């Protein structure tokens, strides 16, 4: 849905540049292929499970497994069986905000380094898909990873499972950031602040431990920025209104003072004329 711009938060997207987005890696029907692999794994796993139980003369349990039917080949978790990632860098590195301000050579260098990094660290079919987006403030690459593993136990036999954490980069995002930092060093791109390392160092030294930075989804961050912008605009409007009110009030005060002075001067001149016999 995000790739097709068919829904979600599109307030930050330049739809006029969406045609510049590009499919960088993976077959067009990668999702269909993956679903077929999952279906095959389900059938293979139940067969192996049943056969392993029968081999141990646990026929009743084997029938129970058959009656239960096909089971998803992954453990339930809030992240799900796949992983999606994003590779990007600050928009200033590309040359500015949006495609019109970017240096094409910078974009090309980043694209090449990013794809080399992904294919190196997600080998053997783990990297399923990658696409480059050119219709937002900074060029970035979305990618999807599916990590299969085989596990053999006495009670279940050979099970084929989707387990993202079997990849070292997904097991430790800090490690992933370190490797990405190394991969992009030749482009002059350096890794960001090492928060986890700073917290460990503080613990070792008995110092106050910095709070963990809270991850904020991009859509939430944009909503907060828009809210701040509206608040700033409202404050500016109120400040200008107060300034205008002060100018009006000062004008009224000056006008009143001028009227009083004019009245006093007129009365004074009238008296002078009367005293001189001209009134």
Give the CATH number, domain containing residue 106: 3.30.930.30
Q: Which residues, at least 6 apart from 219, have a Cβ–Cβ distance to it below 8 Å?
A: 8, 9
For residue 8, pLDDT beyond 80: no
Q: How confident is the model at residue 237 (pLDDT cuts 50, 70, 90)?
A: confident
Structural domain span for residue 178: 15-212
Is residue 70 one of the residues assigned to a domain? Answer: yes
Is residue 266 one of the residues assigned to a domain? Answer: no
Confidence at residue 101, expressed as pLDDT on a 0 to 100 scale: 94
The DSSP output letter for 207 is P
For residue 41, pLDDT beyond 90: yes
Q: How confident is the model at residue 177 (pLDDT cuts 50, 70, 90)?
A: confident
- What secondary structure does DSSP assign to 28-75, as a single string? TTHHHHHHHHHHHHHHHHHHHHHHHHHHTT-HHHHHHHHHH----SS-
Is residue 254 one of the residues assigned to a domain? Answer: no
CB 106 within 8 A of CB 94: yes
Q: How confident is the model at residue 204 (pLDDT cuts 50, 70, 90)?
A: low
Is residue 150 one of the residues assigned to a domain? Answer: yes
What mean pLDDT is reported for the chain? 84
Confidence at residue 189, expressed as pLDDT on a 0 to 100 scale: 85
Confidence at residue 212, expressed as pLDDT on a 0 to 100 scale: 61
Count up the domains in the chain and report the number: 1
User: How many Cβ atoms from other residues are within 10 Å of residue 117's Cβ?
Assistant: 20
> What's the whole-number mean pLDDT along residues 113-124?
95
- Residue 239, both tokens: 């400040």
pLDDT in tens, 127-175: 999 999 999 999 999 999 999 999 999 999 999 999 999 999 999 888 8
Is residue 9 one of the residues assigned to a domain? Answer: no
Pick from 130, 145, 139: nearest CA to 17: 139
> What's the whole-number mean pLDDT along residues 178-191?
86
Match 């999702």 to its residue by tokens.
31
Sign of the torsion angle spanned by Cα atoms 193, 194, 199, 202: negative
Confidence at residue 116, expressed as pLDDT on a 0 to 100 scale: 95
Is residue 8 one of the residues assigned to a domain? Answer: no
Higher pLDDT, 223 or 113: 113
Q: How confident is the model at residue 21 (pLDDT cuts 50, 70, 90)?
A: very high
Confidence at residue 224, expressed as pLDDT on a 0 to 100 scale: 64
- Residue 148, both tokens: 């299969």
CA 184 – CA 109 distance, rounded (Å):
10
User: How many Cβ atoms from other residues are within 10 Å of residue 74's Cβ?
Assistant: 16
Is residue 193 one of the residues assigned to a domain? Answer: yes
CA 192 – CA 266 distance, rounded (Å):
76
CA 45 – CA 54 distance, rounded (Å):
14
Is residue 56 one of the residues assigned to a domain? Answer: yes
Confidence at residue 234, expressed as pLDDT on a 0 to 100 scale: 75
Q: How confident is the model at residue 208 (pLDDT cuts 50, 70, 90)?
A: low
pTM (two decimals): 0.69
């Amino acid at each position: 849905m995000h790739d097709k711009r068919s829904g979600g938060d599109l307030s930050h997207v330049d739809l006029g540049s969406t045609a510049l987005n590009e499919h960088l890696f993976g077959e067009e029907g990668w999702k269909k292929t993956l679903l077929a692999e999952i279906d095959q794994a389900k059938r293979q796993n139940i067969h192996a499970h049943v056969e392993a139980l029968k081999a141990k003369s646990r026929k009743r349990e084997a029938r129970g497994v058959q009656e239960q039917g096909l089971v998803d080949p992954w453990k339930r978790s809030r992240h799900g069986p796949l992983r999606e990632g994003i590779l990007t860098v600050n928009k200033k590195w590309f040359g500015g905000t949006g495609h019109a301000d970017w240096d094409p050579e910078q974009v090309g260098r980043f694209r090449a380094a990013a794809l080399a990094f992904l294919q190196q660290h997600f080998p053997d079919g783990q990297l399923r898909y990658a696409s480059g987006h050119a219709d937002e403030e900074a060029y970035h690459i979305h990618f999807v990873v599916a990590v299969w593993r085989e596990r053999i136990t006495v009670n279940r036999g050979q099970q084929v499972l989707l387990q993202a954490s079997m990849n070292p980069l997904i097991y430790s995002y800090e490690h992933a950031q370190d490797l990405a930092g190394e991969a992009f060093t030749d482009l002059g791109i350096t890794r960001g602040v090492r928060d986890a390392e700073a917290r460990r160092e503080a613990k070792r030294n008995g110092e106050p431990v910095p709070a963990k930075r809270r991850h904020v989804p991009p859509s939430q961050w944009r909503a907060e920025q828009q809210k701040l912008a509206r608040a700033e605009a409202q404050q500016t409007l109120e400040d200008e209104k107060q300034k205008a009110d002060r100018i009006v009030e000062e004008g009224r005060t000056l006008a009143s003072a001028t009227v009083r002075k004019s009245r006093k001067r007129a009365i004074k001149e009238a008296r002078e004329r009367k005293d001189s016999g001209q009134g």
